[in-house]
Amino acid sequence: MSLFATFRSVVRFRQFEWDRTKRQLARCANVEDLRRLAQQHLPAGIFDYIDGGAEDEITLRRNTDDFSRITFRPRVLADVAAINPATQLFSRDIPFPLILAPTGFSRIANSQGELAVARSAERMSLPYTLSTMATRSIEDVAAVTGENARNWFQVYVWRDRALVSDLLARAREANFEAIMITVDTPVLGRRERDIRRGFLLPPKIGLDTIYEGARHPRWTYDFLRAEPITFANLVGSTVGDGRSAVSLAEQVNSQFDQALSWRDVAWFREAWSGPIMLKGIQRHEDAILALKSGVDAIALSNHGGRQLDGAPSPVSLITQVIDATENQIPVICDGGVRRGSDIAKAISLGATACMTGRSYLYGLAAGGERGVDHALRLLEEGFLKTMVLTGAHNVSELNDQLVEMPKAWESQPQNLQESE
Ligand SMILES: Cc1cc2nc3c(=O)[nH]c(=O)nc-3n(C[C@H](O)[C@H](O)[C@H](O)COP(=O)(O)O)c2cc1C
Protein backbone atom coordinates (compact mmCIF):
# COMPACT_ATOMS: atom_id res chain seq x y z
CA MET A 1 0.00 0.00 0.00
CA SER A 2 1.37 3.41 -0.86
CA LEU A 3 2.10 5.83 1.93
CA PHE A 4 -0.76 8.03 0.72
CA ALA A 5 -3.26 5.13 0.79
CA THR A 6 -2.17 4.18 4.30
CA PHE A 7 -2.55 7.79 5.41
CA ARG A 8 -6.04 7.95 3.91
CA SER A 9 -7.08 4.74 5.61
CA VAL A 10 -6.27 6.04 9.10
CA VAL A 11 -7.05 9.75 8.91
CA ARG A 12 -10.57 11.08 8.81
CA PHE A 13 -11.16 14.82 8.45
CA ARG A 14 -14.12 16.28 10.25
CA GLN A 15 -16.13 18.82 8.31
CA PHE A 16 -14.87 22.26 9.23
CA GLU A 17 -17.37 24.31 11.27
CA TRP A 18 -17.23 27.88 9.96
CA ASP A 19 -19.27 29.35 12.82
CA ARG A 20 -16.66 30.20 15.42
CA THR A 21 -19.02 30.19 18.40
CA LYS A 22 -20.45 26.80 17.41
CA ARG A 23 -16.95 25.45 16.91
CA GLN A 24 -15.78 26.67 20.31
CA LEU A 25 -18.89 25.53 22.17
CA ALA A 26 -18.73 22.08 20.58
CA ARG A 27 -15.37 21.64 22.28
CA CYS A 28 -16.77 22.49 25.72
CA ALA A 29 -17.49 19.13 27.31
CA ASN A 30 -18.44 20.55 30.70
CA VAL A 31 -19.04 23.77 32.63
CA GLU A 32 -15.36 24.05 33.56
CA ASP A 33 -14.55 24.16 29.81
CA LEU A 34 -17.09 26.99 29.44
CA ARG A 35 -15.39 28.75 32.34
CA ARG A 36 -12.02 28.54 30.58
CA LEU A 37 -13.53 29.84 27.34
CA ALA A 38 -15.20 32.68 29.27
CA GLN A 39 -11.81 33.54 30.74
CA GLN A 40 -10.34 33.79 27.24
CA HIS A 41 -13.16 36.04 26.05
CA LEU A 42 -13.44 38.45 28.97
CA PRO A 43 -11.15 41.23 30.18
CA ALA A 44 -9.53 40.00 33.38
CA GLY A 45 -11.45 42.37 35.67
CA ILE A 46 -14.82 41.24 34.29
CA PHE A 47 -13.91 37.57 34.53
CA ASP A 48 -12.75 38.04 38.11
CA TYR A 49 -15.96 39.84 39.05
CA ILE A 50 -17.98 36.83 37.87
CA ASP A 51 -15.63 34.08 38.96
CA GLY A 52 -14.44 35.46 42.29
CA GLY A 53 -15.63 35.21 45.86
CA ALA A 54 -15.11 36.90 49.20
CA GLU A 55 -11.74 37.16 51.01
CA ASP A 56 -9.75 33.90 50.82
CA GLU A 57 -12.49 32.26 48.71
CA ILE A 58 -12.68 29.34 51.16
CA THR A 59 -16.47 29.17 50.88
CA LEU A 60 -16.32 29.60 47.11
CA ARG A 61 -14.12 26.50 46.85
CA ARG A 62 -16.06 24.62 49.52
CA ASN A 63 -19.31 25.04 47.58
CA THR A 64 -17.97 22.96 44.69
CA ASP A 65 -15.62 20.71 46.67
CA ASP A 66 -18.38 19.49 48.98
CA PHE A 67 -20.23 17.90 46.07
CA SER A 68 -17.21 15.67 45.51
CA ARG A 69 -17.47 14.44 49.13
CA ILE A 70 -20.73 12.67 48.33
CA THR A 71 -20.58 9.12 47.01
CA PHE A 72 -23.32 7.43 45.02
CA ARG A 73 -24.61 3.97 45.95
CA PRO A 74 -25.87 3.00 42.49
CA ARG A 75 -28.39 0.27 41.68
CA VAL A 76 -27.80 -1.91 38.62
CA LEU A 77 -30.09 -4.07 36.46
CA ALA A 78 -32.85 -1.64 37.32
CA ASP A 79 -34.44 -1.42 33.83
CA VAL A 80 -33.68 2.20 33.16
CA ALA A 81 -35.10 2.19 29.64
CA ALA A 82 -37.58 4.89 30.70
CA ILE A 83 -36.82 7.55 33.26
CA ASN A 84 -38.59 10.75 34.24
CA PRO A 85 -36.43 13.64 35.48
CA ALA A 86 -39.33 16.07 35.96
CA THR A 87 -40.35 17.59 39.25
CA GLN A 88 -42.75 20.24 40.56
CA LEU A 89 -42.29 23.59 42.19
CA PHE A 90 -45.21 25.78 43.28
CA SER A 91 -47.59 23.22 41.74
CA ARG A 92 -46.06 23.55 38.28
CA ASP A 93 -43.85 21.11 36.40
CA ILE A 94 -40.16 21.68 35.76
CA PRO A 95 -38.48 19.31 33.26
CA PHE A 96 -35.59 18.73 35.68
CA PRO A 97 -34.88 20.29 39.08
CA LEU A 98 -32.90 23.39 38.12
CA ILE A 99 -33.52 27.12 38.58
CA LEU A 100 -31.45 29.95 37.16
CA ALA A 101 -30.18 32.09 40.06
CA PRO A 102 -30.29 35.87 39.97
CA THR A 103 -27.07 37.52 38.84
CA GLY A 104 -26.72 41.28 38.55
CA PHE A 105 -25.03 42.99 35.59
CA SER A 106 -25.26 40.06 33.19
CA ARG A 107 -24.63 42.43 30.31
CA ILE A 108 -21.00 42.72 31.26
CA ALA A 109 -20.58 39.13 30.08
CA ASN A 110 -22.43 39.67 26.80
CA SER A 111 -24.50 42.60 25.54
CA GLN A 112 -27.71 40.54 25.37
CA GLY A 113 -27.31 39.88 29.09
CA GLU A 114 -30.44 38.98 30.99
CA LEU A 115 -32.54 38.79 27.80
CA ALA A 116 -30.41 35.94 26.46
CA VAL A 117 -30.59 34.10 29.77
CA ALA A 118 -34.36 34.54 30.13
CA ARG A 119 -34.99 33.31 26.56
CA SER A 120 -32.75 30.31 27.09
CA ALA A 121 -34.45 29.43 30.39
CA GLU A 122 -37.85 29.68 28.71
CA ARG A 123 -36.75 27.35 25.90
CA MET A 124 -35.83 24.79 28.55
CA SER A 125 -39.02 25.55 30.60
CA LEU A 126 -36.88 26.41 33.63
CA PRO A 127 -37.54 29.26 36.08
CA TYR A 128 -35.31 32.30 35.63
CA THR A 129 -34.74 34.77 38.46
CA LEU A 130 -34.12 38.35 37.39
CA SER A 131 -31.93 40.33 39.79
CA THR A 132 -32.88 43.72 41.23
CA MET A 133 -29.44 44.78 39.97
CA ALA A 134 -30.08 43.50 36.46
CA THR A 135 -28.98 45.41 33.41
CA ARG A 136 -32.25 44.65 31.59
CA SER A 137 -35.52 45.68 33.16
CA ILE A 138 -38.47 43.63 34.38
CA GLU A 139 -40.45 44.92 31.39
CA ASP A 140 -37.67 44.11 28.87
CA VAL A 141 -37.50 40.52 30.12
CA ALA A 142 -41.29 40.17 30.01
CA ALA A 143 -41.27 41.48 26.44
CA VAL A 144 -38.87 38.82 25.13
CA THR A 145 -40.46 35.87 26.93
CA GLY A 146 -43.83 34.25 26.35
CA GLU A 147 -46.81 33.49 28.53
CA ASN A 148 -45.41 30.18 29.74
CA ALA A 149 -42.10 31.63 30.89
CA ARG A 150 -41.44 31.25 34.58
CA ASN A 151 -39.88 34.60 35.43
CA TRP A 152 -39.11 35.22 39.08
CA PHE A 153 -37.88 38.46 40.62
CA GLN A 154 -35.07 38.71 43.15
CA VAL A 155 -35.51 41.48 45.69
CA TYR A 156 -32.77 43.41 47.40
CA VAL A 157 -34.42 45.31 50.18
CA TRP A 158 -33.64 48.99 49.88
CA ARG A 159 -34.08 51.40 52.76
CA ASP A 160 -36.49 53.18 50.46
CA ARG A 161 -39.52 50.85 50.79
CA ALA A 162 -41.50 52.85 48.22
CA LEU A 163 -38.91 51.74 45.68
CA VAL A 164 -39.35 48.09 46.75
CA SER A 165 -43.15 48.41 46.48
CA ASP A 166 -42.78 49.88 43.04
CA LEU A 167 -40.51 47.02 41.89
CA LEU A 168 -43.01 44.46 43.19
CA ALA A 169 -45.89 46.20 41.41
CA ARG A 170 -43.90 46.18 38.16
CA ALA A 171 -43.07 42.48 38.58
CA ARG A 172 -46.74 41.67 39.20
CA GLU A 173 -47.82 43.71 36.19
CA ALA A 174 -45.25 41.83 34.05
CA ASN A 175 -46.63 38.44 35.15
CA PHE A 176 -43.64 37.40 37.23
CA GLU A 177 -44.54 34.25 39.11
CA ALA A 178 -42.60 34.51 42.36
CA ILE A 179 -40.18 36.64 44.34
CA MET A 180 -36.95 35.69 46.04
CA ILE A 181 -35.76 37.94 48.86
CA THR A 182 -31.99 37.87 49.29
CA VAL A 183 -31.18 37.92 52.99
CA ASP A 184 -27.41 37.44 53.05
CA THR A 185 -26.36 40.91 51.90
CA PRO A 186 -26.74 43.55 54.65
CA VAL A 187 -23.34 44.75 53.43
CA LEU A 188 -21.33 43.58 50.47
CA GLY A 189 -18.81 40.80 51.11
CA ARG A 190 -15.18 41.77 50.67
CA ARG A 191 -14.39 40.64 47.14
CA GLU A 192 -10.70 41.19 47.04
CA ARG A 193 -10.20 40.49 43.35
CA ASP A 194 -12.49 43.46 42.63
CA ILE A 195 -10.76 45.67 45.20
CA ARG A 196 -7.35 44.97 43.68
CA ARG A 197 -8.59 45.83 40.22
CA GLY A 198 -10.60 48.88 41.32
CA PHE A 199 -13.56 47.31 39.56
CA LEU A 200 -16.52 49.63 38.99
CA LEU A 201 -20.04 48.89 37.89
CA PRO A 202 -21.07 49.40 35.22
CA PRO A 203 -17.54 48.97 33.86
CA LYS A 204 -16.04 52.04 32.28
CA ILE A 205 -13.41 51.67 29.62
CA GLY A 206 -10.74 54.12 30.81
CA LEU A 207 -7.07 54.32 30.00
CA ASP A 208 -6.28 51.60 32.49
CA THR A 209 -8.65 49.16 30.81
CA ILE A 210 -7.74 49.92 27.20
CA TYR A 211 -4.97 47.34 27.27
CA GLU A 212 -7.34 44.64 28.52
CA GLY A 213 -9.96 45.78 26.02
CA ALA A 214 -7.48 45.50 23.15
CA ARG A 215 -6.58 41.98 24.21
CA HIS A 216 -10.26 40.98 24.08
CA PRO A 217 -11.48 42.67 20.90
CA ARG A 218 -14.61 40.55 20.55
CA TRP A 219 -15.84 41.52 24.00
CA THR A 220 -14.83 45.17 23.50
CA TYR A 221 -16.61 45.40 20.13
CA ASP A 222 -19.77 43.87 21.62
CA PHE A 223 -19.59 46.13 24.69
CA LEU A 224 -19.00 49.38 22.79
CA ARG A 225 -21.64 48.70 20.12
CA ALA A 226 -24.43 48.14 22.65
CA GLU A 227 -26.26 50.91 24.46
CA PRO A 228 -24.68 51.99 27.77
CA ILE A 229 -25.21 49.64 30.69
CA THR A 230 -27.46 50.83 33.50
CA PHE A 231 -29.16 49.19 36.46
CA ALA A 232 -32.24 48.94 34.28
CA ASN A 233 -34.72 48.35 37.11
CA LEU A 234 -33.56 51.44 38.96
CA VAL A 235 -33.64 54.00 36.16
CA GLY A 236 -35.34 57.15 37.46
CA SER A 237 -35.01 56.11 41.12
CA THR A 238 -33.12 58.00 43.78
CA VAL A 239 -30.67 55.18 44.53
CA GLY A 240 -28.58 55.56 41.40
CA ASP A 241 -29.11 53.74 38.14
CA GLY A 242 -25.48 53.22 37.32
CA ARG A 243 -25.07 56.01 34.79
CA SER A 244 -22.13 57.17 36.86
CA ALA A 245 -19.74 54.43 37.87
CA VAL A 246 -19.74 53.43 41.52
CA SER A 247 -18.15 50.54 43.28
CA LEU A 248 -20.74 47.91 44.05
CA ALA A 249 -19.71 48.09 47.70
CA GLU A 250 -20.59 51.81 47.84
CA GLN A 251 -24.01 51.21 46.30
CA VAL A 252 -24.90 48.25 48.52
CA ASN A 253 -23.51 49.60 51.75
CA SER A 254 -25.27 52.94 51.42
CA GLN A 255 -28.65 51.80 50.06
CA PHE A 256 -29.49 48.30 51.34
CA ASP A 257 -31.52 48.08 54.53
CA GLN A 258 -29.27 46.73 57.26
CA ALA A 259 -32.16 46.80 59.72
CA LEU A 260 -33.97 44.08 57.76
CA SER A 261 -35.37 41.43 60.12
CA TRP A 262 -37.92 38.64 60.37
CA ARG A 263 -40.62 41.28 60.98
CA ASP A 264 -40.20 42.50 57.43
CA VAL A 265 -41.23 39.15 55.96
CA ALA A 266 -44.83 39.96 56.99
CA TRP A 267 -44.58 43.20 55.01
CA PHE A 268 -43.67 41.17 51.92
CA ARG A 269 -46.57 38.77 52.52
CA GLU A 270 -48.89 41.78 52.34
CA ALA A 271 -47.19 43.24 49.32
CA TRP A 272 -46.90 40.08 47.17
CA SER A 273 -49.63 37.49 46.75
CA GLY A 274 -47.60 34.86 44.85
CA PRO A 275 -44.88 32.52 46.12
CA ILE A 276 -42.10 34.05 48.25
CA MET A 277 -38.66 32.51 48.75
CA LEU A 278 -35.89 33.51 51.14
CA LYS A 279 -32.45 33.22 49.55
CA GLY A 280 -29.43 32.99 51.81
CA ILE A 281 -30.51 30.69 54.67
CA GLN A 282 -27.38 29.14 56.20
CA ARG A 283 -28.45 27.19 59.28
CA HIS A 284 -31.39 25.07 60.33
CA GLU A 285 -32.60 27.45 63.08
CA ASP A 286 -33.20 30.13 60.46
CA ALA A 287 -34.90 27.56 58.23
CA ILE A 288 -37.38 26.90 61.05
CA LEU A 289 -38.01 30.65 61.42
CA ALA A 290 -38.49 30.91 57.67
CA LEU A 291 -41.05 28.12 57.78
CA LYS A 292 -42.89 29.85 60.61
CA SER A 293 -42.81 33.16 58.78
CA GLY A 294 -45.00 31.61 56.11
CA VAL A 295 -42.67 31.84 53.09
CA ASP A 296 -43.14 29.26 50.36
CA ALA A 297 -39.56 28.02 49.86
CA ILE A 298 -36.05 28.58 51.13
CA ALA A 299 -32.82 28.71 49.20
CA LEU A 300 -29.79 27.49 51.11
CA SER A 301 -27.18 29.86 49.80
CA ASN A 302 -24.05 31.79 50.64
CA HIS A 303 -24.31 33.92 47.51
CA GLY A 304 -21.90 31.68 45.64
CA GLY A 305 -19.16 32.32 48.22
CA ARG A 306 -19.32 36.07 47.59
CA GLN A 307 -20.50 37.21 51.02
CA LEU A 308 -19.30 35.62 54.29
CA ASP A 309 -16.11 33.66 53.75
CA GLY A 310 -16.09 30.63 56.04
CA ALA A 311 -19.83 30.02 55.60
CA PRO A 312 -20.88 26.39 55.08
CA SER A 313 -21.66 25.00 51.66
CA PRO A 314 -25.38 24.79 50.86
CA VAL A 315 -25.17 21.08 50.03
CA SER A 316 -23.75 20.26 53.46
CA LEU A 317 -26.81 21.86 55.13
CA ILE A 318 -29.56 20.05 53.27
CA THR A 319 -30.06 17.08 55.60
CA GLN A 320 -30.15 19.16 58.78
CA VAL A 321 -32.54 21.68 57.27
CA ILE A 322 -34.87 19.04 55.85
CA ASP A 323 -34.98 17.29 59.23
CA ALA A 324 -35.49 20.52 61.18
CA THR A 325 -38.33 21.70 58.93
CA GLU A 326 -39.79 18.18 58.73
CA ASN A 327 -39.97 18.41 54.97
CA GLN A 328 -42.73 21.02 55.16
CA ILE A 329 -41.13 23.53 52.82
CA PRO A 330 -39.26 23.15 49.51
CA VAL A 331 -35.51 23.54 49.96
CA ILE A 332 -33.40 24.85 47.10
CA CYS A 333 -29.66 24.18 47.06
CA ASP A 334 -27.83 27.19 45.60
CA GLY A 335 -24.09 27.22 45.09
CA GLY A 336 -21.32 25.17 43.52
CA VAL A 337 -23.47 23.25 41.03
CA ARG A 338 -21.32 22.58 37.98
CA ARG A 339 -22.58 19.18 36.85
CA GLY A 340 -25.85 17.35 36.48
CA SER A 341 -24.55 14.82 38.97
CA ASP A 342 -24.30 17.64 41.54
CA ILE A 343 -28.02 18.25 41.08
CA ALA A 344 -28.70 14.52 41.55
CA LYS A 345 -26.68 14.54 44.78
CA ALA A 346 -28.54 17.52 46.24
CA ILE A 347 -31.91 16.03 45.32
CA SER A 348 -30.90 12.71 46.87
CA LEU A 349 -30.14 14.49 50.14
CA GLY A 350 -33.63 16.02 50.11
CA ALA A 351 -33.50 19.27 48.14
CA THR A 352 -36.42 20.00 45.81
CA ALA A 353 -34.24 21.76 43.24
CA CYS A 354 -30.84 23.36 42.70
CA MET A 355 -29.97 26.84 41.50
CA THR A 356 -26.97 27.88 39.52
CA GLY A 357 -25.44 31.27 38.77
CA ARG A 358 -21.94 30.94 37.37
CA SER A 359 -22.65 27.91 35.15
CA TYR A 360 -24.89 29.95 32.88
CA LEU A 361 -22.79 33.13 33.21
CA TYR A 362 -19.72 31.25 31.96
CA GLY A 363 -21.88 30.03 29.07
CA LEU A 364 -23.11 33.57 28.38
CA ALA A 365 -19.55 34.91 28.28
CA ALA A 366 -18.30 31.96 26.22
CA GLY A 367 -20.96 32.01 23.52
CA GLY A 368 -23.82 34.44 24.21
CA GLU A 369 -27.29 32.94 24.22
CA ARG A 370 -26.03 29.75 22.58
CA GLY A 371 -23.52 29.46 25.39
CA VAL A 372 -26.31 29.63 27.97
CA ASP A 373 -28.20 26.94 26.03
CA HIS A 374 -25.06 24.84 26.03
CA ALA A 375 -24.53 25.21 29.79
CA LEU A 376 -28.13 24.26 30.56
CA ARG A 377 -28.04 21.29 28.22
CA LEU A 378 -24.82 20.03 29.81
CA LEU A 379 -26.49 20.15 33.22
CA GLU A 380 -29.64 18.45 31.94
CA GLU A 381 -27.76 15.68 30.14
CA GLY A 382 -25.57 15.13 33.17
CA PHE A 383 -28.59 14.88 35.43
CA LEU A 384 -30.32 12.37 33.13
CA LYS A 385 -27.20 10.27 32.77
CA THR A 386 -26.73 10.20 36.53
CA MET A 387 -30.32 9.00 37.00
CA VAL A 388 -29.73 6.20 34.50
CA LEU A 389 -26.39 5.19 36.01
CA THR A 390 -27.71 5.18 39.57
CA GLY A 391 -30.87 3.29 38.59
CA ALA A 392 -33.27 6.08 39.61
CA HIS A 393 -36.45 6.12 37.51
CA ASN A 394 -37.82 9.40 38.82
CA VAL A 395 -36.81 12.14 41.22
CA SER A 396 -38.44 10.48 44.21
CA GLU A 397 -36.03 7.58 43.75
CA LEU A 398 -33.19 10.05 44.14
CA ASN A 399 -33.24 9.65 47.91
CA ASP A 400 -30.86 9.20 50.84
CA GLN A 401 -30.46 5.49 50.05
CA LEU A 402 -28.64 6.46 46.91
CA VAL A 403 -25.86 8.54 48.46
CA GLU A 404 -23.37 8.58 51.29
CA MET A 405 -22.32 11.91 52.76
CA PRO A 406 -19.76 12.96 55.37
CA LYS A 407 -20.90 12.15 58.95
CA ALA A 408 -20.53 15.78 60.01
CA TRP A 409 -23.43 16.79 57.76
CA GLU A 410 -25.89 14.50 59.48
CA SER A 411 -28.56 15.92 61.78
CA GLN A 412 -27.56 15.89 65.41
CA PRO A 413 -30.84 15.71 67.39
CA GLN A 414 -29.49 17.98 70.12
CA ASN A 415 -28.68 20.59 67.47
CA LEU A 416 -32.08 20.60 65.92
CA GLN A 417 -33.81 22.67 68.55
CA GLU A 418 -34.85 26.10 67.61
CA SER A 419 -32.74 28.91 68.97
CA GLU A 420 -33.49 32.48 68.08
C1 LIG B 1 -21.68 37.64 38.94
C2 LIG B 1 -22.68 37.29 39.98
C3 LIG B 1 -23.67 38.22 40.31
C4 LIG B 1 -24.61 37.90 41.28
N5 LIG B 1 -25.61 38.80 41.55
C6 LIG B 1 -26.57 38.49 42.45
C7 LIG B 1 -27.66 39.35 42.67
O8 LIG B 1 -27.78 40.41 42.05
N9 LIG B 1 -28.59 38.98 43.61
C10 LIG B 1 -28.50 37.81 44.30
O11 LIG B 1 -29.36 37.52 45.14
N12 LIG B 1 -27.48 36.95 44.08
C13 LIG B 1 -26.52 37.26 43.16
N14 LIG B 1 -25.52 36.36 42.93
C15 LIG B 1 -25.52 35.05 43.62
C16 LIG B 1 -26.28 34.03 42.79
O17 LIG B 1 -27.66 34.30 42.81
C18 LIG B 1 -26.11 32.61 43.34
O19 LIG B 1 -26.43 32.61 44.71
C20 LIG B 1 -24.70 32.07 43.15
O21 LIG B 1 -24.21 32.41 41.88
C22 LIG B 1 -24.72 30.55 43.32
O23 LIG B 1 -23.46 30.02 43.23
P24 LIG B 1 -22.83 29.44 41.87
O25 LIG B 1 -22.37 30.64 41.08
O26 LIG B 1 -21.73 28.59 42.35
O27 LIG B 1 -23.92 28.70 41.13
C28 LIG B 1 -24.56 36.65 41.95
C29 LIG B 1 -23.57 35.72 41.62
C30 LIG B 1 -22.64 36.03 40.63
C31 LIG B 1 -21.60 35.01 40.29
Ligand 1: residue of 106, 184, 191, 306 to mutate (most ligand atoms within 8 A of CB) is 306
User: Catalytic annotation on 303?
Assistant: yes
> pLDDT category, 208, cuts 50, 70, 90?
low
pLDDT value at residue 249: 77
pLDDT value at residue 420: 46
From the list 41, 216, 284, 303, the catalytic residue is 303
- 12 within domain boundaries: no
pLDDT value at residue 1: 60
- Give the C-alpha separation, 41 to 35, whole Å: 10
- Residues with CB under 6 Å of ligand 1 are 50, 63, 101-104, 131, 133, 154, 182, 279, 301, 303-304, 306, 334-337, 356-358, 361
- 7 within domain boundaries: no
- 134 within domain boundaries: yes
- For 114, half-sphere exposure in the C-beta direction (CA atoms, 13 angstrom radius) is 29
Mean pLDDT of 281-287: 98
User: If DSSP codes are grouped into helix, strand and coil, which group holds residue 112?
Assistant: coil
User: If DSSP codes are grouped into helix, strand and coil, which group holds residue 182?
Assistant: strand
- 321 within domain boundaries: yes
**Is 50 exceeded by the pLDDT of residue 91?**
yes
Q: Which pLDDT tens digit goes with each residue over 93-103?
A: 999 999 999 99
**Which CATH number goes with the domain that contains 234?**
3.20.20.70
Which of 110, 185, 187, 127 has the alpha carbon at shortest distance from 155?
A: 185
Looking at the 3D structure of the chain, how many domains does it have? Answer: 1
pLDDT value at residue 245: 64
Which of 130-144, 169-183, 206-220, 381-395 is least confident? Answer: 206-220
- Give the C-alpha separation, 189 to 181, whole Å: 17
Atom of ligand 1 nearest to the CA of 131: 8
Domain span holding position 184: 37-402
- Minimum CA distance residue for ligand 1 atom 4: 103
Compute how many other C-beta atoms are within 10 angstroms of the C-beta atom of residue 51.
Answer: 19
* Residue 90 zone, left/alpha/beta (φ > 0; ψ -120 to 50; rest): left
- 17 within domain boundaries: no
Which of 224-228, 266-270, 276-280, 379-383 is least confident? Answer: 224-228
- The runs of H, that is alpha helices, within 227-310 are 248-255, 263-271, 284-293
pLDDT value at residue 415: 53
- 18 within domain boundaries: no
What are phi and psi for residue 280, nearest 5 degrees? Answer: 125, 15
- 20 within domain boundaries: no
Q: Which pLDDT tens digit goes with each residue over 216-264?
A: 999 999 988 998 888 899 888 767 776 666 677 787 888 888 999 999 9
